[in-house]
Amino acid sequence: MGRRRLLGAAAYLFAAGLAALAAAEMAAGPPPAGTGRIRGTVKVWRDHPLVGFREGPDNAGALVYVTGFASAPPSGVALLHQRDEQFEPRLLPIVAGQTVSFPNHDRIYHNVFSVSPDRPFDLGQYKSKDPPRDVEFDHPGLVPVYCNIHPQMLAYVVVLENDAFAMSASDGSFEIDGLPAGALELHAWIPGAKRVTVPVAIEPGAERVVELRLDQEERIPPHKRKDGSDYPKPRYEDD
Ligand SMILES: [Cu+2]
């Protein structure tokens, strides 16, 4: 496996015109023996009419993850809740081989499904009094999850090849520890934005500091029901 080396502490690498990557700087103590660390910030810029993209007030909720090696899935089941006619969380990163359980906490029916070629499934209808239903995700991919009854319900299961991922905090900060040495790639994504990717050369005992930017569009495109049809128009009580 070839390694890319950074040109030094002052070197910056630009990817897609959006991301700058700076070389190591020690802050939170050395990484665990034999491994490297990436930390930094991801800024979520939002598209405003007239003025274009501007930095948003909150950078939380971006997924930052590393590819280039595989790790075993955790033994625990991940949870994607249905509560108050929404999915929670909206973005659920897991490791390939892991199972997701989909408990419905509402007293009404939901029908959770995906038509993603990466992992299509249909859990059918169940309520809070019913046992949750599960899906195993055995290979990496992006799996948008919908409810066949409520068009506003939308979540993403992101199936990753390893457990080297983090969600950004409000200030955009993130940290990923325990990385094997080598030429890896760091990715950031949030729904509504194009994924940003930068190469990162990991060395044992060293830390890389990376600044990333995501441009998030205002609107997520509407989707269809599981049979490809449109959702019925909203019904009101006096209909
Ligand atoms: Cu629903």
Residues 46-68: pLDDT tens digits? 988 888 899 888 999 999 999 99
pLDDT band at 236 (very low <50, low <70, confident <90, very high): low
Report the separation in Å between the CA atom of 236 and the middle of ligand 1, taken as the mean of its atom positions. 17
Report the separation in Å between the CA atom of 175 and the middle of ligand 1, taken as the mean of its atom positions. 34
Average the pLDDT over each of 61-75, 81-95, 137-151, 215-229 and give the range with the smallest value: 215-229
Report the separation in Å between the CA atom of 125 and the middle of ligand 1, taken as the mean of its atom positions. 9
- Tally of domains within the chain: 1
The answer as to whether 130 is a domain residue is yes
Report the separation in Å between the CA atom of 148 and the middle of ligand 1, taken as the mean of its atom positions. 6
Question: Quick check: 21 and 33 in contact, CB under 8 A?
Answer: no
What distance in Å separates the CA atoms of residue 188 and residue 170, rounded to the nearest whole number? 15
Region of residue 145 (phi > 0: left; psi between -120 and 50: alpha; otherwise: beta): beta
The answer as to whether 138 is a domain residue is yes
Tokens of 6: 């950074």
Residues 94-141: pLDDT tens digits? 999 999 999 999 999 999 999 999 999 999 999 999 999 999 999 999
Question: Quick check: 226 and 148 in contact, CB under 8 A?
Answer: yes
Report the separation in Å between the CA atom of 150 and the middle of ligand 1, taken as the mean of its atom positions. 4
pTM of the model: 0.84
The answer as to whether 209 is a domain residue is no
What distance in Å separates the CA atoms of residue 38 and residue 181, rounded to the nearest whole number? 12
The answer as to whether 185 is a domain residue is no
Q: Checking DSSP bridges between strand 98-102 and strand 78-79, what pairing results, if any?
A: parallel
Report the separation in Å between the CA atom of 189 and the middle of ligand 1, taken as the mean of its atom positions. 25
Report the separation in Å between the CA atom of 151 and the middle of ligand 1, taken as the mean of its atom positions. 8
Range of the domain at 83: 78-160
Report the separation in Å between the CA atom of 226 and the middle of ligand 1, taken as the mean of its atom positions. 13
The answer as to whether 112 is a domain residue is yes
First to last CA, the chain: 64
Report the separation in Å between the CA atom of 45 and the middle of ligand 1, taken as the mean of its atom positions. 30
**What letter represents residue 48's amino acid?**
H
